[in-house]
């Protein structure tokens, strides 16, 4: 048995206990829903009715598109069970389509139930059927109780008479069967037929992916099917060491707190314990703990407590286990990229979550970038402690990327676009002074620092706080960030301690040095509001804002933002509302003479509102936007439209795609057949719509993934 959420669809479909429960399909526009129940679907292809065989093969040979909601899961079940196990004919991958992908591209909910409600489809997903489906695909309560009792008895734990009796009995059925629970399966069958009709209506209501975007979806599916090769032996060694270390640290935690705290996740208890010792912390987030450890005033015991908490809460522990959960017999992890996971179009991660690997605090030598992982492979735990200190968690956190290795006989080729969001934003805004800096291969952070200080560019050091502040401004102020938020960002991201006044001045300096950027915010906001008010098309910079109040997709109207690439961002059911905005100003306190932050409210202002999936709650909710946020969305989307087609081009040139992480592409090629220069040239070849954009990337090749 395999846990679908932990292992992913591919590994789940290969498990011998996984069986399809039924199959339903229909041809668009025709009334018939073709259906095979549990008994029929779990027979060899040769035993299927001749009429079904002829119809199915005809659909494949005639090039019909096979559309499904979450198509990758359907492909895993079909290819790995129906084709491999029962001999069904293969469906070419390019004949597959996905309604969940179409929904995501329109910034609508991915879940079919939520999508049906938003589109106001006449046929909706059956909730009772969902319960039946979950009942048929999960082990029974009786089996779970038996397995748990057996495991506890085998581990030598003391258990009561009831558990002993359960453990001594024969294993109950793992899953319910049609002949034991016919009513559950009948509910499931009805649910499956309703799902097919719901998916058809959603497919008809949603706009198709444009051809270039369809190619990117094919690429995403291929990468998920191909997977990443993992250094499984080293991952196993690291997880074994971490398990030993965790047990020891938990014992230390128990001893240090006199048995009051036994789990590192007991946040409230840890904060209360620290407070009793005079250490007041607002939370136990990573940065808060780091600041406390780097500060003064901690007793040795409290320092040890925070070190234990830090070691036991490292995300790397879960990620190494995720590697093993997803690894198949060929040491590859699959089903780890979610197409259009972000509203801007970027993929997001699932399973091992490669998009949020920590940077790592172990500095790697340029001459020997893999020395640390080589030490882990060759040395035992005690020697590693001698080399890297008491806590090996910091070391292992830094080595997560190194666990990704190329296929046998291949090497990795990796490149990261250089300052791509800066280049895209300034290109969209036609910020000529900034573009001149980038085209001259100068440092935009020093350029901003020179604007701050009045010094010439050459007088700004490549190190030091002047350039660091310039970096914080360039990367933080492009989308309307105000002084208070910049103050927090400067400290959290760059460890720059600024007063409110200094933060406000930094924001002002950025806008004065790059006046085309705030002009772009205003242009985007004005175009969006005007087109929603009057309908039609408005051009702002290099983008078009399009709204037709008479055009419905299901029950939804859209404000479309057409990007330079031709792809569109979607804002569902937009409307204008008068809202009071809060803003903050710095005033001088009359009593103390100190600068203080004062919150004020504006007069009612016209605001653009729309419906979307809230990034925090994941629920369908009312959202608001303005020029700065529109600029952020468009910039990130345009940067994505540079990376994704680049990966498609690399695939056609023999560089096998493996992964995209933000603005970084990871591929592999047979040793001796590629070069870093060729790889970067292919990736950075500008599309026809961006020939004048300053695009550059830094690339490298090697035997393991790492930060370049």
The radius of gyration of the chain from alpha carbons, rounded to an integer in Å, stands at 29
Q: 435: pLDDT confidence band, cut at 50, 70 and 90? A: very high
How far apart are alpha carbons 130 and 447 in whole angstroms?
A: 58
How much is the pLDDT for 361? 65
Q: Is residue 576 part of a domain?
A: no
Flag whether pLDDT at 355 surpasses 90. Answer: no
How much is the pLDDT for 360? 67
Q: What is the DSSP letter of 403?
A: G
Question: Are residues 198 and 112 in contact, defined by beta-carbon separation less than 8 angstroms?
Answer: yes
How far apart are alpha carbons 351 and 644 in whole angstroms?
A: 21
Q: Is residue 528 part of a domain?
A: no
Of 487, 513, 539, which residue constitutes the final position of a domain? 513
Of 465, 480, 513, which residue constitutes the final position of a domain? 513
Residue-level length of the chain:
708
Please report which helix (H) or strand (E) contains residue 414, including its range: strand 410-417
Question: Are residues 419 and 438 in contact, defined by beta-carbon separation less than 8 angstroms?
Answer: yes
Q: 569: pLDDT confidence band, cut at 50, 70 and 90? A: very high
Pairing outcome for strands 697-702 and 410-417: antiparallel
HSE toward the beta carbon, residue 459, CA cutoff 13 A: 8
Flag whether pLDDT at 32 surpasses 90. Answer: yes
Pairing outcome for strands 620-625 and 348-349: unpaired
Q: What is the DSSP letter of 83?
A: I
257 with 124, same domain? Answer: no
239 with 124, same domain? Answer: no
Query: Which one is predicted more confidently, 430 or 273?
Result: 430
Q: 152: pLDDT confidence band, cut at 50, 70 and 90? A: confident
* Full domain range(s) for residue 671: 410-419+635-702
203 with 275, same domain? Answer: no
Q: 309: pLDDT confidence band, cut at 50, 70 and 90? A: confident
Provide the CA 590 distance to its chain's centre, in angstroms.
49
386 with 279, same domain? Answer: yes
Quick count: other Cβ atoms within 10 Å of Cβ 663? 19
How much is the pLDDT for 146? 87
Q: What is the DSSP letter of 281?
A: -
Closest CA to 700 of 350, 370, 297: 370
9 with 75, same domain? Answer: yes
Question: Are residues 688 and 390 in contact, defined by beta-carbon separation less than 8 angstroms?
Answer: no
194 with 324, same domain? Answer: no
Proportion of the chain above pLDDT 70, given as a percent: 99
How far apart are alpha carbons 612 and 571 in whole angstroms?
A: 7
Quick count: other Cβ atoms within 10 Å of Cβ 349? 16
378 with 460, same domain? Answer: no
How much is the pLDDT for 128? 78
Number of domains in the chain: 4
251 with 298, same domain? Answer: yes
Flag whether pLDDT at 319 surpasses 70. Answer: yes
395 with 414, same domain? Answer: no
193 with 243, same domain? Answer: no
Q: Is residue 471 part of a domain?
A: yes
388 with 483, same domain? Answer: no
Is residue 668 classed as helix, strand or coil in its secondary structure?
Answer: strand
252 with 371, same domain? Answer: yes
The single residue listed with the structure tokens 């598109």 is 65
Taking only the tens place, the pLDDT of each residue in 96-126 is 999 999 999 999 999 999 999 999 998 877 7
Question: Are residues 119 and 572 in contact, defined by beta-carbon separation less than 8 angstroms?
Answer: no
Please list the helix, strand and coil fractions of the chain in percent, rounded to the nearest 5, in that order: 50, 15, 35
How much is the pLDDT for 432? 95
How far apart are alpha carbons 321 and 327 in whole angstroms?
A: 10
């Amino acid at each position: 048995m395999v846990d679908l959420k932990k292992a992913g669809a591919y590994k789940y479909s290969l498990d011998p206990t996984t069986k399809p429960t039924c199959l339903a399909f229909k041809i668009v526009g025709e009334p018939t829903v073709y259906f095979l129940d549990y008994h029929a679907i779990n027979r060899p292809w040769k035993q299927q009715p001749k009429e079904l065989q002829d119809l199915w093969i005809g659909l494949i040979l005639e090039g019909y598109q096979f559309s499904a909601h979450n198509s990758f899961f359907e492909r895993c079940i079909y290819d790995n069970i129906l084709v491999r196990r029962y001999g069904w004919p293969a469906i070419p991958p390019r004949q597959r389509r996905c309604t969940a992908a179409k929904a995501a591209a329109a910034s609508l909910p991915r879940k079919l139930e939520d999508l049906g409600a938003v589109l106001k489809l006449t046929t909706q997903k059956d909730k009772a059927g969902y319960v039946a489906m979950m009942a048929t695909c999960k082990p029974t309560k009786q089996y779970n109780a038996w397995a748990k009792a057996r495991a506890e008895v085998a581990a030598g734990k003391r258990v009561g008479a009831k558990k002993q009796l359960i453990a001594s009995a024969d294993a109950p059925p793992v899953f319910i069967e049609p002949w034991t629970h016919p009513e559950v399966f009948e509910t499931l069958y009805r649910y499956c037929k309703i799902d097919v009709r719901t998916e058809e209506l959603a497919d008809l209501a949603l706009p198709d992916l444009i051809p270039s975007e369809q190619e990117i979806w094919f690429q995403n599916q291929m990468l998920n099917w191909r997977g990443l090769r993992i250094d499984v032996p080293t991952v196993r060694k690291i997880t074994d060491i971490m398990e030993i270390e965790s047990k020891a640290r938990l014992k230390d935690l128990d001893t240090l707190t006199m048995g009051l705290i036994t789990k590192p996740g007991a946040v409230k208890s840890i904060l209360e314990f620290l407070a009793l010792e005079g250490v007041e912390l607002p939370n136990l987030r990573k940065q808060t703990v780091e600041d406390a450890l780097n500060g003064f005033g901690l007793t040795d015991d409290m320092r040890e407590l925070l070190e234990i908490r830090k070691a036991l809460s490292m995300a790397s522990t879960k990620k190494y286990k995720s590697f093993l959960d997803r690894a198949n017999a060929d040491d590859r992890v699959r089903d780890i990229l979610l197409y259009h996971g972000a509203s801007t179009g970027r993929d997001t991660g699932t399973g091992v979550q490669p998009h949020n690997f920590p940077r790592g605090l172990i500095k790697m030598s340029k001459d020997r970038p893999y020395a640390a992982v080589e030490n882990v492979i060759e040395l035992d735990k005690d020697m590693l402690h001698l080399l890297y200190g008491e806590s090996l968690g910091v070391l292992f956190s830094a080595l997560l990327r190194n666990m990704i290795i190329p296929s046998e006989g291949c090497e990795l080729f990796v490149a990261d676009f250089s300052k791509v969001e800066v280049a895209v934003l300034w290109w969209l805004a036609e910020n000529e002074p900034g573009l001149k800096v980038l085209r001259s291969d100068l440092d935009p952070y020093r350029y901003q620092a020179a604007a701050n200080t009045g010094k010439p560019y050459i007088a700004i050091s490549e190190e030091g706080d002047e350039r660091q502040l310039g970096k914080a401004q360039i990367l933080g102020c492009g989308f309307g960030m105000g002084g208070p938020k910049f103050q927090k960002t400067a400290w959290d991201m760059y460890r720059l301690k600024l007063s409110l006044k200094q933060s406000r001045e930094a924001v002002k300096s950025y806008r004065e040095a790059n006046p085309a950027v705030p002009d772009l915010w205003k242009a985007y906001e004005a175009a969006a509001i005007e087109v929603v008010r009057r309908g039609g098309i408005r051009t702002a910079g290099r983008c078009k804002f399009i709204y037709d109040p008479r055009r419905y997709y299901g029950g939804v109207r859209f404000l479309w933002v057409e990007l330079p690439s031709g792809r569109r961002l979607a804002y569902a059911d937009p409307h204008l509302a008068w809202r009071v905005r809060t803003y903050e100003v710095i005033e001088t306190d009359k009593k103390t003479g100190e600068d203080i932050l004062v919150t004020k409210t504006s007069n009612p202002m016209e605001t653009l509102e729309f419906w979307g999936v809230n990034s925090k709650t994941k629920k369908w909710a009312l959202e608001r936007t303005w020029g700065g946020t529109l600029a952020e969305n468009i910039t990130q989307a345009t940067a994505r439209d540079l990376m994704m087609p680049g990966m498609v081009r690399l695939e056609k040139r023999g560089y096998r795609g493996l992964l995209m992480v933000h603005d970084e592409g990871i591929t592999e090629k047979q040793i001796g057949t590629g070069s870093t220069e060729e790889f970067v040239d292919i990736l950075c070849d500008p599309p026809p719509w961006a020939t004048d954009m300053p695009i550059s990337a830094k690339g490298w090749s090697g035997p393991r993934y790492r930060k370049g």
